[in-house]
């Protein structure tokens, strides 16, 4: 089984420096792309590979790039790596950046060339201090080797790269909010259209992709779109999957896209920890719907998880075990979302704190029967189409599925006037 993204990652040693990375074949894809391929060839190759955005939305990456204007007077275009990884339960991009920073930088340069961007940013989470140090060092090496800066590899193409560290808000992961943060403003989302591909950072054409997405690019250029498709099972490529919670071996694994939930939990994560039983899981971060026992054979790709009523999201799974109160679990999630709402639109700003309060009162044994209808109502009012961005609809996903699969637990809290888990 091939694991292109993690083949050169080992945490028993420091990550590859430039020389080691080159010796392992690094920057060959960049050389190939810049000296033998045109920007349009690269975009088409990526589009044909069927690489879908690994930040959670699952949109075809090459198609996203194809919306960037390639004719006319666009002296400045931007390419941005979204390394803000703040989705609770998600820890995959940290591993990719700490494990092999040059892989990300090479992927970004190739991608920037494809859209003819002249400036690129890595928008890194403040908490990722180690990743920041390693990326800064790797960028310096890449500049010194002529992979960044003016006239890269003598091709006439120039690219600057900057590392920007955020100051902490979940909403910065939303790509238009991220643009506002980079412009030094409050990170509220922007109206679409215009889409960032046309009018993004400082009003210029801009592409924003996730860390894992960029890390795939060198391998697609080296090996071709058909190879990339053949890596996966039910969808193209490999995926960094993760599991956290009460399992024997929480962690991250690069696996063919479409591994089943059962295999991920039982084989890779070693099964549930002693004395704990599986009750449900959020398959791809805090903003995804619960999947339960009946879904254990669902393949973890974008389409199959959607068909099961949830989202693949970031592919990092959080397990709900039988010792953890589902109401408390969801209350913790809604506390996070209420706190991280940017406050821009009313349903999100007002609805999330209300939701949090109701859940707290149920958890404390002070809930009323009609509270469940109130929560049901919120899942509709804060659902898709009723809010400015995807934050509140994402917040409603674990809540609506908890109300569906664990309704009895909610009812027990209300009828017994206490939390049965305490």
Binding residues for another protein, rule: CB under 8 A, are: 85-91, 93-94, 125-130, 162, 165-170, 181-187, 202, 242-246, 250-252, 282, 286, 316, 318-321, 324, 328-329, 332-333, 335-336, 339-340, 342
Q: Map residue 135 onto helix, strand or coil.
A: helix
- Considering the complex, state which of residue 38 and residue 343 has its C-beta at the smaller distance from another protein: 343
- Considering the complex, state which of residue 3 and residue 332 has its C-beta at the smaller distance from another protein: 332
Q: Which two tokens stand for residue 230?
A: 């053949």
- Considering the complex, state which of residue 27 and residue 123 has its C-beta at the smaller distance from another protein: 123
- Considering the complex, state which of residue 114 and residue 201 has its C-beta at the smaller distance from another protein: 201
CA dist 147 and 158 (Å) reads 9
Minimum distance of another protein from residue 238's CB (angstroms): 18
Minimum distance of another protein from residue 382's CB (angstroms): 19
Minimum distance of another protein from residue 182's CB (angstroms): 8
- Considering the complex, state which of residue 5 and residue 187 has its C-beta at the smaller distance from another protein: 187
Residue 202 DSSP one-character state = G
Minimum distance of another protein from residue 321's CB (angstroms): 7
Nearest 10 degrees: CA dihedral of 29, 30, 32, 35?
180
CA dist 9 and 52 (Å) reads 22
Minimum distance of another protein from residue 282's CB (angstroms): 8
- Considering the complex, state which of residue 94 and residue 295 has its C-beta at the smaller distance from another protein: 94
**In which order are the strands placed within the sheet that holds 160-165?**
160-165, 119-124, 78-83, 206-210
> Strands 278-282 and 316-321: what pairing?
antiparallel
Nearest 10 degrees: CA dihedral of 127, 133, 136, 137?
-160
DSSP result, 262-321: HIIIIIIS-SBPTT--EEEEEBTBTTS--B-GGGTT-B-SHHHHHHTTS--TTSEEEEEE
CA dist 225 and 45 (Å) reads 6
Minimum distance of another protein from residue 353's CB (angstroms): 16
- Considering the complex, state which of residue 248 and residue 404 has its C-beta at the smaller distance from another protein: 248
Minimum distance of another protein from residue 310's CB (angstroms): 15
């Amino acid at each position: 089984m091939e694991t292109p993204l993690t083949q050169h990652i080992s945490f028993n040693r420091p990550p590859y420096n430039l020389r080691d990375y080159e010796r392992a074949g690094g920057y060959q894809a960049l050389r190939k792309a810049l000296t033998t391929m045109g920007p349009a060839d690269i975009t088409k190759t990526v589009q044909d590979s069927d690489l879908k955005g690994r930040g959670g939305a699952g949109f075809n990456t090459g198609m996203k790039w194809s919306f960037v204007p390639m004719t006319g007077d666009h002296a400045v275009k931007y390419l941005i790596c979204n390394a803000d990884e703040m989705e609770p339960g998600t820890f995959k991009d940290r591993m990719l950046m700490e494990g092999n920073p040059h892989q990300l930088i090479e992927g970004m340069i190739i991608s920037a060339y494809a859209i003819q961007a002249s400036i690129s940013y890595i928008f890194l989470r403040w908490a990722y201090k180690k990743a920041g140090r390693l990326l800064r060092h790797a960028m310096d090496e890449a500049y010194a080797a002529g992979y960044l800066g003016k006239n890269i590899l003598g091709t006439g193409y120039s690219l600057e790269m900057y590392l920007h560290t955020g100051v902490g808000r979940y909403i910065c992961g939303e790509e238009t909010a991220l643009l506002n943060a980079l412009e030094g403003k409050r990170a509220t989302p922007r109206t679409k259209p215009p889409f960032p591909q046309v009018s993004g950072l400082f009003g210029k054409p801009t592409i924003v992709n996730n860390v894992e997405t960029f890390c795939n690019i060198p391998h697609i250029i080296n090996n071709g779109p058909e190879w990339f498709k053949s890596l996966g099972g039910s969808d193209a490529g490999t995926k960094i999957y993760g599991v956290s919670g009460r399992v024997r071996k929480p962690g991250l694994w690069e696996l063919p896209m479409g591994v089943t939930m059962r295999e991920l939990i039982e084989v890779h994560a070693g099964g549930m920890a002693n004395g704990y039983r599986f009750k449900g899981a959020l398959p791809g971060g805090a903003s995804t719907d619960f999947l339960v026992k009946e879904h254990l054979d669902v393949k973890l790709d974008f389409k199959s998880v959607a068909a099961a009523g949830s989202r693949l999201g970031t592919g990092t799974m959080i397990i709900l075990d039988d010792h953890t109160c589902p109401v408390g679990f969801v209350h913790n999630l809604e506390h996070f979302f209420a706190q991280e709402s940017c406050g821009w639109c009313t349903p999100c700003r007002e609805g999330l704190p209300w939701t949090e309060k109701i859940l707290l009162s149920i958890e404390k044994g002070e809930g009323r029967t009609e509270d469940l209808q109130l929560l049901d109502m919120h899942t509709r009012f804060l659902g898709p189409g009723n809010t400015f961005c995807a934050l509140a609809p994402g917040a409603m996903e674990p809540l609506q599925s908890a109300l569906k699969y664990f309704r009895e637990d909610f009812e027990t809290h209300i009828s017994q006037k206490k939390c049965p888990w305490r």
